[in-house]
């Protein structure tokens, strides 16, 4: 390869991280009834980069998602409940979860759920300043999934810990992925501080809204124990559960 070509490649890599704001931000949202607004810090650019935090606010549709980290949670039971209620979900997984839970991953896929990318090492994507390392956080997960299932992962990405920057969103879009944040989440992931059934049901059902992207953590014992009741109640209120593949186009 010519030296000039190598220089061009290096410059391209540098420019990838030099044109946009690299300040690390934390995802949050402001809800007022069915109206959900993004963080003020990113409101001016969030929609430029195939980023979703809510679907159609005019339709009673909920997109159910779960984050899977390194831990072994209650996913098998959750899958039982989803199957009984005919509800699709998206499971965002890190590479070690695929390695340690191949049968669960294959079951998710076989039962029609989306197995989506949550990175290899669960870092703040905003802090990765090397484009090759940034890309590897996606590619290594996809490779592990493809080796297991023979398929590429769906092109949905959830930034670990909800940390992002304008630059990281841009780089994610450039990889062909949609960034999926959420319009509902609550403190459900601390295993030794699980909320009561009553608190969790009131929180989840009471905050339901049109187009909701719901984030739950599969490590939550409470979530698992109330999930069947929650799904049935939300359906009785007229909500439908849809796959992320049915998000409205931008």
The DSSP-derived string for 82-96 is HHHHT---EEEE-HH
Q: How far apart are CA 47 and CA 40, in angstroms?
A: 13
Q: How far apart are CA 155 and CA 67, in angstroms?
A: 16
Q: How far apart are CA 105 and CA 116, in angstroms?
A: 10
Exactly one of 67, 122, 188, 209 is catalytic; which is it?
67
> If you ran DSSP here, which 8-state letter would residue 153 be given?
P
Please say if 121 is a catalytic residue. no
Give phi and psi for 115, each to the nearest 5. Answer: -105, 110
Cβ pair 83, 77 in contact under 8 A: no
Supply 8's token pair. Answer: 């061009």
Please say if 67 is a catalytic residue. yes
Q: Report the phi/psi class of residue 245: left, alpha or beta, with left for phi > 0 and alpha for psi in -120 to 50.
A: alpha
Strands 25-26 and 35-37: unpaired
Q: How far apart are CA 89 and CA 75, in angstroms?
A: 12
Strands 25-26 and 240-241: unpaired
Exactly one of 113, 118, 209, 217 is catalytic; which is it?
217
Q: How far apart are CA 216 and CA 182, in angstroms?
A: 10
Active site residues: 67, 217
């Amino acid at each position: 390869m010519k030296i000039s070509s190598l220089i061009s490649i290096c410059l391209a890599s540098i420019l990838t991280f030099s044109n946009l704001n690299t300040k690390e931000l934390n995802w949050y949202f402001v809800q007022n009834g069915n109206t959900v607004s993004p963080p003020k810090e990113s409101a001016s650019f969030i929609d430029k980069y195939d980023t979703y935090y809510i679907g159609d606010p005019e339709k009673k549709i909920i997109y159910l998602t779960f984050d899977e980290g390194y831990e072994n949670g209650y996913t098998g039971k959750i899958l039982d409940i989803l199957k009984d209620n005919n509800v699709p979900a998206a499971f965002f997984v890190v590479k070690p979860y695929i390695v340690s839970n191949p049968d669960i991953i294959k079951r998710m896929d076989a039962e029609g759920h989306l197995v989506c990318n949550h990175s290899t090492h669960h870092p703040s994507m905003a802090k990765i300043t090397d484009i090759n390392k940034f890309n590897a956080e996606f590619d290594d997960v996809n490779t592990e999934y493809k080796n297991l299932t023979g398929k590429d992962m769906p092109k949905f990405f959830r930034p670990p810990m909800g940390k992002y920057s304008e630059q990281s969103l841009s780089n994610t879009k450039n990889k062909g992925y949609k960034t999926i944040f959420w319009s509902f989440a609550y403190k459900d992931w601390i295993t030794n501080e699980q909320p009561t059934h009553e608190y969790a049901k009131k929180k989840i059902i009471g905050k339901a809204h049109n187009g909701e992207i719901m984030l739950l953590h599969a490590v939550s014992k409470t979530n698992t124990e109330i999930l069947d009741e929650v799904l049935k109640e939300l359906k009785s209120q007229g909500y439908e559960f849809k796959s992320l593949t049915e998000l409205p186009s931008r």
